[in-house]
Structures are given as structure tokens and as C-alpha cells.
Amino acid sequence: MPKIKSLEIKGFRAYGIQAQQIDFEGLLTLVWAPNSQGKTSLAEAIEFLLTGKTVRREMIASAKREFAEALRNAHLPQTEEVYVAAHIEDETGCVHYVKRRLVRDYTGRDPCLSELEVDGKPADNLKAIGIHLSQPPLEAPVLMPHTLRYVISTQPQERTEYFKALLEVSDLEEIRDAIAQAKNRLAEPAYEVSALYESCRSHPTFGNELAFLESIQPTEGVVEEALNKALARVLIEHGDVHDGIDARLAVAKELLNRRRVQTFPIGDLLPTNQPSWGARPEVEPTLSAFLRAKDAVDKEVARLLRLFHEVLSLVEGVESAVDCPVCETPLALTPHRLRAIREKVEASTDYTKHRREANQVLSNLISIAQNAIQEANRACPPAVTWQEQDRARYMPALEELLDDRVKTIVSEWESVLADLKQAKENIKRKATSLKETIASLQIDDLNESIVKHLGQKAKQLFAASSEFDNALEAYKHTTEPLIETLKQEVDRRAGMEGWQDLINLCESRESLLGWLIERFAYQQVRIDIDEAISDIDAAKAEVLDDKFSELGQEILRWWNLLRPGEPTSFYGVERGGSGRRFIDLKARLGHPGTADSQGVLRDAVAIFSDSQLNALGLAAFLARTVREGNGFVVLDDPVPATDREHRAFFINNVLNELIGEGIQVILLTHDEQMRKDVEELYAHVGLDSFTITMGNPIQGSFIKKNRDTLDSKLKLADQYLSSQDAESLKNAARTLRDAAERFCKLMLVQERRKNGERSALVTDYDGKTLGQLRPMVEPLLTNNTSHPGKLRVIVQRLNPGSHDHEVPPIGDLKQCLGDLKALRKEYLP
């Protein structure tokens, strides 16, 4: 399992411009600091190194804004780098240099950015060196007071998420959620006919006949049957009901139209046709091309006259001949010869093609003009041609039907009708004018002026067509609500409301069947998904049960180390319902003599005291640490200073257990008693002890290694003995006496703990002198018969050292140092 061998912090939170370093030599490191000196910053620095963020911000969502610029030391110059680095030993014993540099601090909204390097190369994570993060929210093996409290004080659903993260089962929810989201993304089939169906479905008379379409596999027969029954429903009050949907549909349409016509000629308001103006020819370009071709012919004829001179001169007997103007041959150019020449020239140029095209354009223009008049007439609703007597007849009917709505709706309609009528007349004028112009022309009369005139006429007609299109569109747009209102009113008065929708639905039954099929399939797939999700939920619950059972046992193990023998104890982890939203932490309420399997079960969060909840949170965190095979764990004030009893259990049992399992523990505390106890009790395991201080916030926190453990005392004495001046020897004697006392106390504690007294502490012997301790320790030095004597000699030689004026000879002191080192190695390995 990976171990942190050293840590270096610069500019991170409480740490200033001078990089601070800690070397971790053993499995247990103690870092003590009073409050607000940089202790939690140290824990968060390790968390930042591992994850690139701080969980405190992630957990307290409402505080994101408050974490703006939270990672960079506020007093650090902007040019200074902020980083956390470490030497980390992987499972193979290879040490890697890991460094994470802060690139951008948190803003009020955005997360921080950082760059991670492993052995000088960019990395996304630390998996390559064997460090695997847990699932959020607590990804790093770093427990801080706020995260410990989070586990207990958070909302039940968030607590559920935490325990799922502990079990690494949050991903099971991802499966379920991904499928549920895919179900929501599955698009419902969209058909225009669906609105028509819904309208018919809600009809009081025949809607129920359509209802069964929603619960049965749709087929042609089913759809036809439903529509047939619906039609029968509406026709039954109007005489005989014909068999078959088509017959009934025809009758329904006939009845509806007849009734509408009787009431009001709605059809007179409806545009009857969408005009088709035909392709617009290129008038001026085509005719101009013809003119250019014709001009070219004339020039060519003039040129060729010379060439044909010799030929012409050979021809005799031409009537009405003329002299050749070029060669002055009298009467050489006869009409016949000239025609022959022209025919040859015309045949050799594009003239013929252009003439044909010009003719075609003129012909097309005549057709277009005639067509425009017809199309405009056909497109207009009959109301355009209403005469005075028609208006006198229909307008009062319209007013009566529309009641108080008539003023706005009808006036708008009359306005657009007038516009449409004017547009139609305009087309007629332009088309007639164009036709007349073309009819008066011969193609050989064309010249540039005429061509331009024709082009303008054609453009005027095309513009009039476009204006008519606009007027027709405006008419449709404005008239649509009028017609709908009229239809509804007419149908309502006739007791035929909804008939039109049903008729339309019947005529769209192929589309209706297509939509019903797709909708039925869509619903079936959604049902399939729901069933699958239900199956997954059930399977997930089984997986959770299995995992909770395992986790519960692991938490219970740590609970029993923290709070042995209490009648009220942790019982286990159970899911509430499906376990999707709630997970219950169960406590067992027992009494002295109650078997472990007995007692009343209650919700632990409800009945546990603060102290017990703290222990539960810690036990849960440690259970995960072990479960996930973390090589190290950072514990920041894991036990409240006021909780003396459980602090002792934590120090004696939990730390011992963690170290026993080979897990590196970095323990941070502001509790002086905890520091003292841990230093005394774990001195023999190579405890590293540090103190953090912050005299000046601008300079930041400083980390200093403590030197009052047994090993450090022996090392210090060794240093004093390297110098032979009187003061150094006096210090050496005093340091060796302290070391001998420490050795004796550690021996006594070790013995008591061997005998099951796990709460034994070095501080139990505060106030005892070396002389008082020696007789108790001598019987414990059984590995060699000379050892009790060695201790006796040490005590005899060092005791005078307490009197400053009597310093033992240097040789004696060196002998004491050597013997103490040997005894420490022999009995406190």
C-alpha cells in the first residue's frame, strides 16, 4: 500500500512563501497545533494534492461563493507559485515525486484548476502509483471535522449518498438514472392527425367510441370499426344509418354541407384555388439576343455580297436587277440572288435559333397573360363576385351568426376581400395590355425600344401576380378565424359540432393508423423500460443488502474499538425502502447482560448522543479506509477534546489497530492531552511528532519537528556527549536521566497493555522519579540476566545528575547511553 514519505507545502491556505516540509519516517505521525495555526490547512493540502480540490466546498454547496480565492494564501505575492508536493512510496518500494500546482483558484462560481505532475511528467491522477480515489463526496482518505460532521448532520438523502459512496455503489444509481433518462429522451411520435384525434376523442357524442383505440393493438379493422361506430353515433339522429364507413362518411359530409349551405354559404368565403402563374420567361434578354443576331446577319450579308460577286456575275436574265455597289457591275444583284445569299447567311449563323426563341417568348407571354387572368379568377373566393343583392342577403346573416364579434372579424375580412379583388383587377389590366401589345407586333418589327417596352409590360404583369399572391395569403390568414367561427356556429346551431373533425379524421384514417401504431409501440417500449428499471431496482437492493451487511460488520469492528462494552451500540446499515433515497443506520439498545443478537433496534441518528454520532462517523470512515485498501489515512481532530474516555480508546485501540494493519496514520490534533498521550504511548514505534505555529499570518504557518521522544532524547544526549565541555556534559546527564525515566514508563505501559489494560498511559506515571520506577521495571527485564543490573547501574549513575554540581564522568555517561540504547532496542522494538 502506498505511503507518504514527505510533504511540502507552499502558499496553500495558511502556508506562506517559505515552503514547509514534513518527513514521515514511521507509520504514525502526530501533528499538534493550537486552533487556527494551519492544522486543517495541512489536511486540506494533502486532500488537494490527491484530488485537486477541497471537499469542504463540494459538501457545503451553499458556500461555493464563500470559497472564492480560498486556496491561495491571501498574503502571497501573485508571482509566487502555490503547490503541494510529496514523495510517495508505491507498493513496490519505489518512491515517486508528486506535485500539484494551483493554476486558478476557486471563483464564486467556478472550480479551481490545477496541474498534477508525477516524477516531473503531467498526470491526470495518481493511479499509476497505486493511489485510487474513492467515490465522491469524500474521495481522499482525509477525515476532517467538517467531513465527520457532514456524515452525521447532513440530510438523510445526502447521508445515503455518502454511505453509497463508502460502498462504492453510487455507480449502481448511475445505471438506473441513465436508463430512466434514456426513457425520457425517447421521443413520442408526432403526427398532425393526433390533434384531430384528441379533438374527436373528447367529443361528448362519439368520443367514447374512439376510446378503446388507446388500449388495443391498432389494426386497420380496429380503426375502421371505431370510426364507423363514431359515424353511426352522429348519423343515428338523422335517419337511416348506412352500413360501411365510406357510405356513412358520404352521408355525414352531405348532411353537414347541406346544413351549412342552408345557413350560410361558407364556401363563398373560401379561396378555391392556389394560382399557378407558370414559368416566367426572360423577355428582354431573349428578344435582345434576337435583335443582335438579326443585326449580325445584316452585316454578314453586306460582307458576303462582295464574295458572291463573281457568282452573281455569271447569272443572267434576272428581272429588276440592280448594280452591284461594290464592283459596280450593273444590275448584278437580282432579288432572287439576294434571297439566296441571305438564306445562306441566315443558315450559317445563330439567327434561326434566336428568331425561334423570340417567337417562343412572345407566344409564351400571350399564354402567361391569358393564364394569369384565369388563375386570378379561379383563386378568388366566390364572395369577390358578390353583387349588391348577394351582400344584402348574406351580410345580415353573417351579423346574426357572429353576433357581437361581427364588427372586428367582418370588417377585417371585407378589407382583405377588397384588396384581393383589386389585385385580381390589376392582373386583368396588365395581362390585357401585354396581350394587346404583342398582338399588334410582327417579329421583324422588333427593335430595341419595342423590346424594352415589352419587357416592362411583362414585369408589370409578374409584379401584379406577386401582389395577388400576397393579397391571397393575407385573405386566407385573416379569413381563417372567421371561417372557423362561422363553421362552429353553423355546426352548433345545426347540432353538428365536431362532425367536421370526425369527417377529417375518417378521411385521414391511414395516417391515424400510422400514428396509433407508433404511439402503441412507444407506450409498449416505455412499459418495457419501466419494468426493466423495476427489475434493476430490485437487483440493486439485493446488491446493497449484501454490501451493507459487509460494511456493517466492518463499521461495528471499529465501533467496538472506539466504544467497547457500551449497552447502546451500533448495529448495522440497512436500506430504507429500495435504498435509492434512504439508508438507515441502526443502533441496538441493550442493557447489561444482553446478548449481542438481542436488544431493541432504533435509528442511530435519532438516538445516538453527539459523542456516539462522532464515533459512528469515524467508524464508518475507518471502515472505508480498510475496505478500500488505503495505505494511509489523515485524521484531523477525529475525537472531540472533551470526550476524554473515548479519546483514550481511540489512542489505545484505534491507532494501534490501524498501525497493526500497516496503515500509515497522519494524526492532526489541537488537543494537548491527545498529543501527550500519543507521544508517550507510541514513542516506541518511531512516532514522528510535529508542531505547527503561525506567529505572523503574512509569513504563514511553520512546521517544526518535536524532539522529546525517547529516541530523540537518546539522539540529543549523543550530541551533547560529542562535546566535552562541562555544560554539555551536564545537559547530557539530564537528557539521559529523562530518557531513562521515559524508558521505564514505556516499559510499564507496555506490560500493562500486554495484560489487557489497553487504556494504560505513560501519563499514569507522572510525578514518579527514576528511583521509584526502577524497582517496578527490573522484573520486566527478563531477556538477559544482566539487564536488571544494567538498569540499576544507569539509575545509580544518573541520579546524581539531578544535582547540577555533580556531573558523572563522560565515560559513565557514554556507558549509560549505550546500555539505554541496547535496552530500548531489546524491549521496545
Partner 1 sequence: MTKENIDLLLEKLAHGSFAHELVNLLKETERENWPWALDELLKARLKNKVQELENAKNQKP
CA–CA distance, 140 with 172 (Å, rounded to integer): 21
Write down the least CB distance from residue 212 to partner 1, Å.
10
Sole binder of partner 1 in the list 115, 323, 484, 546 (CB under 8 A): 546
Mask 746-785, x = binds partner 1 (CB under 8 A)? Answer: ----------------------------------------
Is residue 465 within 8 A of residue 379, CB to CB? The reply is no
| Residue closer to partner 1, measured from CB, 169 or 427 | 169
Instruction: Give yes or no for residue 358 binding partner 1 (CB under 8 A).
Output: no
**Cα angle value 666/670/674 (rounded, 5°):** 75
We find the least distance from the C-beta atom of residue 540 to partner 1, in angstroms, to be: 6
User: Which listed range, 26-34, 218-226, 358-366, 439-447, lies at the site for partner 1 (CB under 8 A)?
Assistant: 218-226
Smallest gap from residue 357 Cβ to partner 1 (A): 53
Which of 517, 589, 626, 659 binds partner 1 (CB under 8 A)? It is 517
Question: Smallest distance from the beta carbon of 172 to partner 1, in angstroms?
Answer: 6
- Using CB under 8 A as the binding criterion, the count of chain residues that bind partner 1 stands at 42
Pick 160 or 569: Cβ nearer partner 1: 160
Which residues share a beta bridge with 717? none
Residues contacting residue 152 through CB under 8 Å, at least 6 positions apart? 159, 605, 613, 614, 616, 617
Q: Which residue, 441 or 525, is less far from partner 1 as judged by CB?
A: 525
Residue type, 728: S
Stretch that binds partner 1, among 87-95, 524-532, 656-664, 810-818 (CB under 8 A): 524-532
Minimum distance, C-beta of residue 625 to partner 1, in the bound complex (Å): 18
Rounded Cα gap, residues 604 and 719, in angstroms: 55
211 belongs to the binding site for partner 1 (CB under 8 A): no
- Which member of 399, 412, 507, 518 binds partner 1 (CB under 8 A)? 518
| Helix axes of 193-201 and 509-562: crossing angle, nearest 10 degrees | 90
State the alpha helices, DSSP H only, in 380-508: 388-402, 406-439, 448-493, 499-507
704 to 723, contacts with partner 1 by CB under 8 A?
none
Secondary structure (3-state) at 346 = helix
CB distance 788 to 814 below 8 Å: no
Q: Give the phi and the psi of residue 82 in degrees, each rounded to 5.
A: -110, 125
What 3-state class would DSSP assign to 653? helix
Residue 743 · residue 709 · CB < 8 Å = no
CA 736 to chain centre: 65
Shortest distance, position 52 Cβ to partner 1, whole Å? 20
Which residue from 323, 531, 766, 804 is in contact with partner 1, where contact means CB under 8 A? Answer: 531
Among 80, 81, 220, 473, binds partner 1 (CB under 8 A): 220
- Count the neighbouring beta carbons within 10 Å of the beta carbon of residue 121: 8
Here's the x/- map for partner 1, 641-670, by CB under 8 A: it reads as: ------------------------------
Angstrom distances, CA of residue 290 to CA of 342, 358, 580, 731: 16, 6, 85, 126
Residues 211-238, buried b or exposed e (16+ Cβ, 10 A)? eebeeeebeeeebbebbbbbbbbbbeee
Instruction: Out of 542, 645, 672, 757, name the contact with partner 1 by CB under 8 A.
Output: 542
Residue range at the interface with partner 1 (CB under 8 A); choices 117-125, 148-156, 528-536, 625-633:
528-536
- Tell me the one-letter amino acid at 326: V
Residue window 458-497: x/- pattern of binding to partner 1, with contact defined by CB under 8 A: ----------------------------------------
| Full 3-state SS string of 120-164 | CEEECCCHHHCCCCCCCCCCCCEECHHHHHHHHHCCHHHHHHHHH
Taking the least distance from each CB to partner 1, the nearer of 141 and 801 is 141
Please report how close the Cβ of residue 553 comes to partner 1 at its closest, in angstroms.
Answer: 18
| Residue count of the chain | 829
> Which stretch, 253-261, 463-471, 510-518, 613-621, contacts partner 1 (CB under 8 A)?
510-518
Give 308 or 515: the residue with its C-beta nearer to partner 1: 515
Please report how close the Cβ of residue 132 comes to partner 1 at its closest, in angstroms. 10
- Does position 63 interact with partner 1 (CB under 8 A)? The reply is no
Is the Cβ of residue 183 or residue 753 nearer to partner 1 in the bound state? 183
CA distance 679 to 526: 64
Q: Which of the ranges 514-522, 726-734, 742-750, 761-769 carries the binding residues for partner 1, by CB under 8 A?
A: 514-522
Give the span between the Cα atoms of 344 and 338, in whole angstroms.
10
CB 161 → partner 1: shortest distance, Å?
A: 15
Of 543, 601, 641, 822, the residue at the interface with partner 1 (CB under 8 A) is 543
**Nearest to partner 1 of 63, 532 (CB atom):** 532
In the complex, least distance from residue 616 CB atom to partner 1, rounded to whole angstroms: 25
Residue numbers 141-200 binding partner 1 by CB under 8 A: 168-169, 171-172, 174-175, 178-179, 181-183, 185-186
Between 480 and 510, CB nearer to partner 1: 510
Residue 516's alpha-carbon distances to 209, 344, 501, 506, 510, in angstroms, are: 15, 73, 17, 14, 10
The DSSP H or E segment spanning 640 is: none
* CB closer to partner 1, 518 vs 751: 518
Q: Whose Cβ is closer to partner 1: residue 45's or residue 231's?
A: 231
> Cα separation of 767 and 703, whole Å?
30
Least Å distance between CB 104 and partner 1? Answer: 25
Q: Residues 58, 225, 550, 764: which binds partner 1 (CB under 8 A)?
A: 225
What distance in Å separates the CA atoms of residue 582 and residue 4, rounded to the nearest whole number?
36
Q: Which residue has the cell 445515503?
A: 160
Q: Kindly indicate which of the ranges 53-61, 201-209, 537-545, 607-615 contains the residues binding partner 1, using the contact rule CB under 8 A.
A: 537-545
Residue 268 engages partner 1 in binding (rule: CB under 8 A): no
Minimum separation from the CB atom of position 221 to partner 1 (A):
4
Q: Is there binding between residue 222 and partner 1 (CB under 8 A)?
A: yes
- Three-state DSSP string of 672-723: HHHHHHHHHHCHHHCCEEEEEECCCCCCECEEEECCCCHHHHHHHHHHHHCC
Tell me how far, at minimum, the Cβ of 162 lies from partner 1, in Å: 17
Least Å distance, CB 184 to partner 1, is: 11
602: helix, strand or coil:
strand
d(CA 91, CA 95): 9
Alpha-carbon gap, residue 554 to 627, rounded angstroms: 8
Nearest distance, CB of residue 514 and partner 1, angstroms: 9
Q: Least separation, in Å, of the C-beta of 634 and partner 1?
A: 24
Quote the least distance from Cβ 125 to partner 1, whole Å. Answer: 15
Nearer to partner 1, 542 or 645 (CB): 542
* 8 Å CB contact between 691 and 704: yes
Dist. CA 15–CA 71, nearest whole Å = 10
- 228-235 — which CB contacts under 8 Å span 24+ positions? 230/200, 230/206, 230/502, 231/206, 231/502, 231/506, 233/205, 233/206, 233/209, 234/205, 234/206, 234/496, 234/498, 234/499, 234/502
- In the complex with partner 1, which residue's Cβ is closer, 214 or 766? 214
Interacting residues with partner 1 (CB under 8 A) = 168-169, 171-172, 174-175, 178-179, 181-183, 185-186, 216-222, 225, 513, 517-518, 520-522, 524-525, 528-529, 531-533, 535-536, 538-540, 542-543, 546
